[in-house]
Amino acid sequence: MFAGSTPILVHNRDVDPDLTLYRFGKGPETVEGLAADAARAAANDSPFPHGVSTSSHLPSRMKESGDYRTAKVSELEEAGFRVEQTGNRKAHHTIHLPQPVTLDHADALNGVLKGCDL
Reduce the DSSP state of residue 56 to 3 states and report it.
coil
Q: Is 37 a member of any domain?
A: yes
**Alpha-carbon span 65 to 60, nearest angstrom:** 9
Q: Is 40 a member of any domain?
A: yes
Residue 96 structural domain: 20-113
Number of domains composing the chain: 1
Q: Is the pTM of this model over 0.75?
A: yes
Q: Is 99 a member of any domain?
A: yes
**Alpha-carbon span 12 to 83, nearest angstrom:** 11
Q: Is the pLDDT of residue 101 over 90?
A: yes
Q: Is 45 a member of any domain?
A: yes
The tens digit of pLDDT for each residue in 36-92 reads 999 999 997 778 999 999 999 999 999 999 999 999 999 999 999 999 999 999 999
Q: Is 71 a member of any domain?
A: yes
The whole-number pLDDT of residue 38 equals 96
H or E element at residue 31: helix 31-42
Q: Is 12 a member of any domain?
A: no
Q: Is 11 a member of any domain?
A: no
The whole-number pLDDT of residue 78 equals 96
The whole-number pLDDT of residue 46 equals 78
27: closest CA among 117, 113, 118? 113
